[in-house]
A and B are shown apart, each in its own frame.
Chain A
Amino acid sequence: MTRPTPFHSRTSALNEGQRWEDWEGFLAATMYSLDPLVEYNAVRLGCGIFDVSPLHKYEVRGPDAQALLQRMVVRNLAPSRPGRGFYTVWCDDNGKVVDDGGVFHIAENHLRLTSTLPSLEWLIDNSSGFDVTIEDVSEELVGIAIQGPTSRDLLRKLTNVDLSALKFWHCTDADVCDRPTLISRSGYTGDLGFEIFVRPEDAEKIWDSAMALAPDYQMRPCGLVALDMTRIEAGLLQIDTEFISAKQTLFEVQTISPLELGVGWMCKLDGDYFVGRDALREEKANGTSRWKTVGVELDVTYIEKYFSEFAMPLHLPERSWNEAVPIYADEAQEHLIGRGTSGMWSPLLKKYIVIARIPPQYEKLGSRFFIEEVIEAKTFSIPATVVKMPFFDPPRKKA
């Protein structure tokens, strides 16, 4: 049996359909209500509370803590100081993405790394010559995320710190319900939101206190479907969907670099050494990127038209999908050029949006190609246009 998280006594009571899936060996709610849209809407209109305990967490302490992480991740951590946080990916020597996660600068000589895959050995293997201690605290800390426009107001009721002073991707030690936590203004929904690291023994108390405020702030417990939908709108990447860790790929062709993954902006290629830097410099200088990852919008009128061939009304997916969908240069589907990796009908934007991996020549905004869509067991080509990603980026996220 997959293990419960320390929130399980609470989350299982709320899970109406007992719909769970496995997240790194833990039970994670797929959805709490029977309609994931309700949870999605809560995140965009009120707020949602997510149990994100299965993330792996590592404490890096010592005079070289920052230097070690700087060596490991692609982002420039030079401006980092206690109280800052960063979303980043990290690479292997070949400049291929290994994992993504958050770096939280908790105090002088103390940083925390979160990751989706186990990363203890990766940290240790990279720590030669650094004066650091590394501790795996994946099970000594659990996490919740409160995400959505009302999240700040709700959290204010529970904590002693001034949340209006906490800027986007900043973090602070804080008492929540008089229990010690770390609050970070960050998340995986592209909205105003917070992630809170708490001790397992405080998990139920904090969950209960937050839930007690739920009616006032339109908060709902949210599952992985709502998380996936909101992260697609925010143009955020998901491991095993947008990329496979270079640690796990069977073939080199399955690996992907940050430049190909659409996070080239975070790679500080002209700065100090980080793992994979030299390969990425070469990739950039020689233009050898095989892919670009872009946001794409499908022309829904075509989907409507094709439905009408069957005398059926337009039907759009109720929830997001994460699978490789063929992308063709031509409507006749003779030239396969790439794949859609995630997609959804955005109830908020009223657009069919897809995260796509295509060759660099199709990267420009406005580039057009065709995505395969199966309607009534028949394959159609739907025109698609490259648009700006994130698809949804409200000012409140950073305000």
Chain B
Amino acid sequence: MGNYDAIIIGAGHNGLVTAGYLARAGRKVLVLERRGLVGGAAVTEEIFPGFKVSSVADGVGYLSPTVRRDFKLDSHVETIDSDMIAFCPQPDGSQLTIHRETAKTVQEIARFSKADADAYPEFIELMQALAGVVGALGHMTPMDLPEVTFGDLRGAVRVLGPGRKLGRKRISELLRILPMPAADILNEYFESGAVKGAIGANSSLGVSFGPQESGTAYTMLNSWALSGNGLFRSAGVVKGGMGALCDAIASAARGFGAEIRTDAAVASISVEDGRAMGVILESGEELIANTVVSNADPRTTFMRLLDPRTLGTKLLQHVANIKYQGSGLRIHLALSALPQFTSLSTASGDDASARLGAPIQIAPSLDYIERAYDCSKFGRFSDSPFLDISIPSILDPSAAPAGQHLMSITAKYGPYELREGNWDTQKKAFADVVLNTLAEYAPDIRNLIQQRHVLSMPDLESIYGLPEGNPNHGEMILNQFFHMRPIPGHARYRTHIDGLYLCGAGCHPGGGVTGVPGHNAAREILKDSKQ
């Protein structure tokens, strides 16, 4: 039994980032992971033998450059970028590809609308400017509104530096756009459904609602801020899958001196006199630490790891009211060959595979996504689902046995609770709907499938500890942002219990493999321990 300066519960990427930073600052750190592997929702698993499946998360480019640099990740993990950001096949057999290069994208868009092609550079310029502020906000520790300290103000002025450069007009524009639906802002600039679908789809990928709902402009900007390529989403793969990225973070953290134990499920956090004393493992083992940091989601942290019987009424009410509501299933397919997309039937083999190496978005218009969402409001899964697909084996041949391919799909929308039946019986039916939809764009898909694996929201919950299958540890929704995330009064990574901190995606700025919550939490923990 050893004593630690800090114990981190959960070896998801945020937990590992916090651990690394604390260890780098000389703290004696232990990370405890329930499962047999590190990474949390960002893992690589051989779901099919020989295939390296990024089971849950696969958005790779979002990791904060600060973390990337501080953990020297670029020398430990190979990221293969795609020059194309999104490949969007259309029902009429055409396709729209968004390229990293603006000029190429403009050409593509011009096939759909000349006016949209003209508007595109202006639009991305505005988004990039606004995303700068949103990104800076993400690195800020939320204020405990309505109380604002002088330190908060100083921080805000510093962080919003890019904002001041925006100029008055753009600050007003930012304030206007933040609470808007993505659809509204896209409608202001574009007319073509395909173009709006291509740019806007990602705004709804991480939430349970459609692009016509308020708040999706924020998720769009947030993704824009984090993508690292100046566009609305990142594209590319990590060699070896998402797990390789977390393995690299873990080994960097170990390099800083952190200790990581897997198969070590935490049963509870011990608290005495309002102070966190350590943790008790499910095995009964007790570990003592000055600081306990939970990378688990807030509901798990407050309702399971702590004793809810000792928590304040208001706190319990706030935790009970956190909206999780996962809505995306993960479907993995082992394919015998690369599927033929109708819209690429005339393209050369290289061109086709280059395009398919980009994220594939089945979202021909914003209305299409919205209609997919409509079903889930009434407890049904979408009959024409919105799909976000990756074929990592194109850019990273090691992801699948030679000649074969791996396809991973995020399929939306499914409600966490079905009105009729349950996911155990219905996930097969939904997967069939997904494949039928996909077959409209890639007719040969069914013939290529060797194996398939479907993760429903309850699966994501039970295997990966994501309540209601929400990968973001809580819906990314306007009332769960900033000083409200995860709950009011607990948005500064600290909790009402001395020595207990939160570092997961349930905290500001939220989900995605960004490392930002973990980074911000470590900063606050170190700030406290200096005082």
A: which residues have CB within 8 A of B?
A: 67, 71, 92-93, 122, 125-126, 128-130, 273, 275-276, 278
Chain A residues contacting B274 (CB-CB under 8 Å) are 278
What's the interface size class on B, roughly? 10 to 19
Chain B residues contacting A93 (CB-CB under 8 Å) are 312-315
The answer to whether the Cβ of B310 comes within 8 Å of any Cβ in the partner chain is: yes
A93-B313, A128-B308 are known; give 19 further A-B pairs, CB within 8 A: A67-B309, A92-B312, A92-B313, A93-B312, A93-B314, A93-B315, A125-B320, A128-B303, A128-B309, A128-B320, A129-B303, A129-B307, A129-B308, A130-B309, A273-B309, A273-B310, A275-B313, A276-B312, A278-B274
CA distance A128 to B309 in the complex (A): 6
Asked if A126 and B303 sit within 8 Å, CB to CB, the answer is: no
Chain A residues contacting B312 (CB-CB under 8 Å) are 92-93, 275-276
Would you give the 0/1 interface string for B294-311, flagging 1 where the beta carbon is closer than 8 Å to chain A? 000000000100011111
B: which residues have CB within 8 A of A?
A: 274, 303, 307-317, 320
Chain B residues contacting A130 (CB-CB under 8 Å) are 309
Cβ distance B191 to chain A, nearest Cβ, rounded Å? 49
Chain B residues contacting A67 (CB-CB under 8 Å) are 309
14 contacts across the A-B interface (CB closer than 8 A): A71-B310, A92-B313, A93-B312, A93-B314, A93-B315, A125-B317, A126-B313, A128-B303, A129-B308, A129-B309, A273-B309, A273-B310, A275-B313, A278-B274
Q: Which residue of B lies closest to A98 (CB)?
A: B313
Asked if B314 and A92 sit within 8 Å, CB to CB, the answer is: yes
Chain B residues contacting A128 (CB-CB under 8 Å) are 303, 308-309, 311, 316, 320
Chain A residues contacting B310 (CB-CB under 8 Å) are 71, 273
Q: Which residue of A lies closest to B314 (CB)?
A: A93
Q: Which residue of B lies closest to A126 (CB)?
A: B313
Query: Total number of A-B contacts with CB less than 8 angstroms?
Result: 34
Q: Which residue of B lies closest to A278 (CB)?
A: B274
Cβ distance A399 to chain B, nearest Cβ, rounded Å? 39
Q: By CB atoms of chain A within 10 A, which of B308, B309, B316, B320 has the most?
A: B309
Q: By CB atoms of chain A within 10 A, which of B308, B311, B313, B316 has the most?
A: B313
CA distance A273 to B273 in the complex (A): 10
Cβ distance B436 to chain A, nearest Cβ, rounded Å? 43
CA distance A126 to B316 in the complex (A): 7
Cβ distance B455 to chain A, nearest Cβ, rounded Å? 29
CA distance A278 to B320 in the complex (A): 22
Q: Which residue of A lies closest to B304 (CB)?
A: A129
Q: Which residue of B lies closest to A272 (CB)?
A: B310
Cβ distance B145 to chain A, nearest Cβ, rounded Å? 16
CA distance A134 to B320 in the complex (A): 18
Q: Which residue of A lies closest to B496 (CB)?
A: A278
CA distance A92 to B310 in the complex (A): 13
CA distance A93 to B311 in the complex (A): 9
Asked if A125 and B316 sit within 8 Å, CB to CB, the answer is: yes
Q: Which residue of A lies closest to B315 (CB)?
A: A93
Q: Which residue of A lies closest to B307 (CB)?
A: A129
CA distance A128 to B311 in the complex (A): 9
Q: Which residue of B lies closest to A276 (CB)?
A: B312
Q: Which residue of A lies closest to B311 (CB)?
A: A128
Asked if A125 and B313 sit within 8 Å, CB to CB, the answer is: yes
Cβ distance B139 to chain A, nearest Cβ, rounded Å? 31
Chain A residues contacting B316 (CB-CB under 8 Å) are 125-126, 128
Cβ distance B490 to chain A, nearest Cβ, rounded Å? 13
CA distance A57 to B320 in the complex (A): 25
CA distance A266 to B307 in the complex (A): 25
CA distance A275 to B312 in the complex (A): 6
Cβ distance B322 to chain A, nearest Cβ, rounded Å? 13
CA distance A275 to B314 in the complex (A): 9
Cβ distance A274 to chain B, nearest Cβ, rounded Å? 10
CA distance A126 to B274 in the complex (A): 18
Chain A residues contacting B317 (CB-CB under 8 Å) are 125
CA distance A278 to B274 in the complex (A): 9
Q: Which residue of B lies closest to A122 (CB)?
A: B313
CA distance A46 to B315 in the complex (A): 49
Q: Which residue of A lies closest to B319 (CB)?
A: A128
Q: By CB atoms of chain B within 10 A, which of A71, A129, A278 has the most?
A: A129
CA distance A128 to B274 in the complex (A): 19
Cβ distance A194 to chain B, nearest Cβ, rounded Å? 33
Chain A residues contacting B308 (CB-CB under 8 Å) are 128-129
